[in-house]
Amino acid sequence: MAGLRLWCAILSLAMWPLAAPAQQASFSALARILPGSVLTVQGAGAELVLTLSQPVPFRVRLVDAPPRLVIDFQEVDFAALPAADPGAVLGRAGAVQAIRYGPADAGWSRLVLELSGPQGIDAAAMTTDAVSGQAVVRIGFSPVDATAFATKAVPESALFADLPAGGQAAGLPPRVPGKPLIVVLDPGHGGIDPGAERDGQREADLMLTFARELRDALRRTEGFDVVLTRDEDVFVSLEGRIRLARAAGADVFLSLHADALPDGGATGATVYTLAEEASDAAAAALAERHDRADLLAGVDLTDQDDLIASVLMSIARTETTPRTDALANHLVAAIRENAGRMHRRPRQMAGFSVLKAPDIPSILLELGFMSSPRDLAALQEVEWRGRMVQSVVSALQRWADDEAASVGLRRR
């Protein structure tokens, strides 16, 4: 859990606004390495502190044979360090045999620490000074045994393959005006995970029915292509759902649920967007249950060691979040107009894993609660579902108009 907390800490520390044009301009300038960058001995390990003229996405990885610590930045001018021996300026530590730097893939710069033996990363974080705009990267490492090192190290071949193309930190492909919006619909649960169950009805089945009806309605509407994460009663992992969405080139991801809450009082539709902090206890419980179902199905979601890829994610999120919020607001408005029945708090936030694609506006729509007899009956009525389908279609249409209007304004 310590790793996860650190991961979250980095996410929040690394957030910086990209919305204002002035900041975009400074972001595109090359970061420089500044005085205050130093390598210090920490027991049998070491800590590397790099002061940069501005924050940039970065990524730390271990590579074996020989053991190396590889740090990729997007993008840093290392000219302040002597190319032949950066250690002459940064300092020396027994854990580090030599330091090298150079360009990596397009738009990326690489700093390599050749290690004198297997070392594990204890901490890696970037903090940004709100006043100066400078960033400090701290990476601490200490000796581990060869087996532990081997489990953390990536093959050399992965070093280049994994870097996103330079200049596309946000990971957003340029949207072509006039091209249909690709909507990925995600009927919750399925297969060994039935979701909520009440009166012989399974959430997994009700959501598949609704998703198919919504798909058909969107296909009849101009400007939309639709992909379902599952079109039968099968289990798809939360990660697999996001992977499918990305493979489909999703412009928007909509996960469909109708869960049951133990207290039984909840009723009406709820529109969820992603947040680290759930907006209330029920939201937190729902998020936790969905993730647990995935874990029970034997899917390992714990591979969060790659701390630094999260910096890239936070940048993408900065851009995606306002668009997601806009869609959520359209959904609440359209459901109120057409279907009428919303939860008393219709807009909520929670840490649903299925919403965590940083570059795809993602929403989890609880159509109602199966624990509410009224909602459960509505979910089984063709007429009610038709009004709900129409609500989602109009919300997506309004959002598509927003997107078309802003497509020229957004940073690429």
Binding-site ranges for Zn ion (CB under 5 A): 188, 195, 257, 259
For residue 304, the minimal CB distance to Zn ion (Å) is 23
Q: Where are the beta strands (DSSP E) in 248-326?
A: 252-257, 269-274
Q: Which is nearer to Zn ion, 135 or 184 (CB)?
A: 184
Nearest to 234 by CA among 254, 211, 205: 205
Indicate the pairing of strand 252-257 with strand 362-366.
Answer: parallel
What is the C-alpha separation between 362 and 242, in angstroms, rounded?
Answer: 10
Q: Which is nearer to Zn ion, 181 or 286 (CB)?
A: 286
Residue 374 parent element (H or E):
helix 373-379
Supply 45's token pair: 């390990």
| CB-based contact 184:254 (threshold 8 Å) | yes
Backbone region of residue 63 per phi and psi (left: phi > 0; alpha: psi in -120 to 50; beta: other values)? beta
What is the C-alpha separation between 13 and 381, in angstroms, rounded?
Answer: 47
Q: Which is nearer to Zn ion, 259 or 359 (CB)?
A: 259
Half-sphere exposure at residue 42, Cβ-oriented, CA atoms within 13 angstroms: 19
For residue 209, the minimal CB distance to Zn ion (Å) is 14
For residue 256, the minimal CB distance to Zn ion (Å) is 8
Instruction: Reduce the DSSP state of residue 335 to 3 states and report it.
Output: helix
Q: Which is nearer to Zn ion, 74 or 270 (CB)?
A: 270
Strand partners, 243: none
Q: Which is nearer to Zn ion, 74 or 229 (CB)?
A: 229
Q: Which is nearer to Zn ion, 203 or 319 (CB)?
A: 203
In this chain, which residue has its C-beta nearest to Zn ion? 257
